[in-house]
């Protein structure tokens, strides 16, 4: 099934879900995204209409598939996967810049299990793509843009990388290549201009998979640079054809808010645009922004916003920093509770025990019931080690800690009775622009009183947890952490306040 291009709203996968790659098998669409320093890696989604997506797993969900050293920096890790279906199997190729470099895994069921990785040590670069010729030759194209033939079963690189086409002269960062056979041509789709406001999508075509390639006279075929469109940084795209013959593009973009220069806090999200063909060139239709009339089909089952930690394993939307060892994170130790055993001493540390879910709404509320009788921990809003806000408890005290760059402070604290305590983080979008420095949102951190009321201990400016301030490639994650001893969490509840 394909959506009506005039009746769906973007983003189709909200929050930190960048670098989408998509394929279709029959009536089913599957999509993957980059995951960077988080484990498990490469979330995979299923849809029947390209609009409503359900996460069905993570491709790299075993330590043997994904090695992320505890000292690897944020915004490293897993970059830019490509997902394809060929010869009855799903194939995924990606780059772990913190470990094994380029690697390839396969599966017969996209929900898993996926194979152990086939390593490609002789394949340089990042953003690898896979495409098969009619004679079975497998072409791998990488950022730059260069191309080699590979044996996908062994990882052997069969020839030296050869430059083929790198977009507009002088445009920086030609990357995210995808090669397709469509009609009489091979098309090479790339991103260029950098992943910031200058991001764009360009395309070229040739008669053979190795070129020579002729650039589209209307390049870039998609960019929002220099416009006031509410969706910016558009790029890193992939094409897919629907069962009805319609064509679609998935891509990343951001929704900046506040004053100048505009801050995006949810990370790079996944968007959808219709594609038509004119003179054998793709023409990308407008990106319907948030707030348009929703696609009128009934959505698929939504993932629960509350988790009571009653299952033996966490659902696939939960992500941890760099690894997830049962001795540090488990639902089996105390029935109906998530137990975290501390390793790092604070969220400043790369090895801190942290497990969370991506913030997916501009305004939202998160709550958790925590027992810190044997440790210290709580609820955090995290961008990276140098940019995070948290409300945490220890015996007899609850406090709010803020880290922004080199500055760190306990901004508020309060004595509380012993025993389990509700902690909360509320994020409220700033819809009124007071001046050019108005941030995109405010973050309210506090705790629940015994009578059920909620006390806000601190209200902080959200722009300091944005990519424009922190740099990097990720978005906010709201999660649970332990920084000393053992901390238990009875439940976690996340609620959208958008409206």
Residues annotated as part of the active site: 19, 175
Q: Which sign, positive or negative, has the C-alpha torsion 205, 211, 217, 222?
A: positive
- β-sheet bridge partners, residue 341: 486
């Amino acid at each position: 099934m394909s959506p009506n291009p005039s009746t769906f709203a973007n983003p189709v996968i909200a929050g930190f879900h960048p670098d989408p790659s998509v394929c279709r098998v029959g009536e089913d669409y599957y999509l993957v995204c980059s995951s960077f320093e988080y484990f498990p890696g490469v979330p995979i989604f299923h849809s029947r209409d390209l609009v409503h997506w359900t996460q069905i797993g993570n491709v790299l969900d075993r330590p043997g598939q994904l090695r992320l050293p505890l000292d690897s920096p944020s915004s490293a890790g897993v970059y830019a996967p490509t997902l394809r279906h060929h010869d009855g199997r799903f194939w995924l190729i990606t780059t772990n810049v913190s470990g094994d470099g380029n690697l390839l895994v396969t599966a017969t069921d996209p929900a898993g299990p996926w194979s152990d990785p086939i390593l490609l040590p002789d394949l340089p670069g990042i953003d690898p793509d896979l495409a098969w010729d009619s004679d079975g030759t497998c072409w791998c194209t990488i950022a730059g843009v260069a191309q080699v033939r590979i044996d996908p079963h062994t990882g052997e690189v069969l020839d030296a990388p050869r430059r083929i086409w790198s977009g507009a002269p002088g445009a920086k960062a030609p990357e995210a290549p995808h090669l397709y056979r469509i009609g009489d041509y091979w098309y090479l789709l790339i991103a260029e201009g950098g992943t910031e406001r200058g991001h764009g999508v360009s395309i070229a075509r040739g008669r053979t998979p190795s070129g020579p390639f002729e650039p589209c006279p209307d390049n870039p075929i998609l960019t929002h640079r220099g416009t006031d469109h509410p969706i910016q940084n558009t790029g890193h795209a992939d094409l897919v054809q629907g069962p009805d013959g319609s064509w679609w593009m998935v891509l990343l973009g951001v929704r900046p808010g506040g004053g100048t220069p505009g801050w995006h806090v949810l990370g790079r999200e996944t968007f959808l645009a219709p594609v038509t063909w004119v003179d054998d060139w793709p023409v990308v239709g407008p990106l319907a922004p948030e707030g348009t009339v929703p696609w009128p089909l009934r959505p698929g089952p939504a993932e629960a916003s509350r988790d009571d930690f009653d299952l033996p394993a966490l659902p696939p939307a939960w992500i941890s920093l760099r690894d997830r060892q049962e001795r540090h994170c488990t639902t089996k130790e105390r029935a109906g509770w998530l137990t975290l055993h501390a390793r790092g001493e604070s969220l400043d540390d790369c090895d801190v025990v942290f497990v969370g879910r991506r913030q997916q709404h501009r305004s939202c509320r998160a709550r958790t019931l925590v027992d810190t009788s044997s440790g210290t921990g709580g609820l955090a809003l995290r961008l990276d080690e140098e940019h995070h806000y948290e409300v945490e408890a220890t015996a007899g005290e609850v406090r709010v800690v803020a880290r922004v760059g080199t500055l760190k402070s306990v901004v508020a604290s309060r004595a509380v009775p012993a025993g389990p305590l509700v902690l909360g983080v509320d994020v409220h979008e700033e819809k009124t622009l007071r001046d050019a420095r108005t941030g995109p949102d405010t973050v309210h951190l506090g705790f629940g009183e015994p009578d059920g009321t909620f006390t806000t201990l601190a209200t902080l400016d959200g722009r300091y947890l944005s990519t424009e301030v922190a740099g990097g490639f990720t978005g906010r994650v709201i999660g649970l952490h332990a920084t000393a001893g053992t901390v238990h969490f009875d439940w976690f509840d996340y609620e959208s306040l958008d409206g």
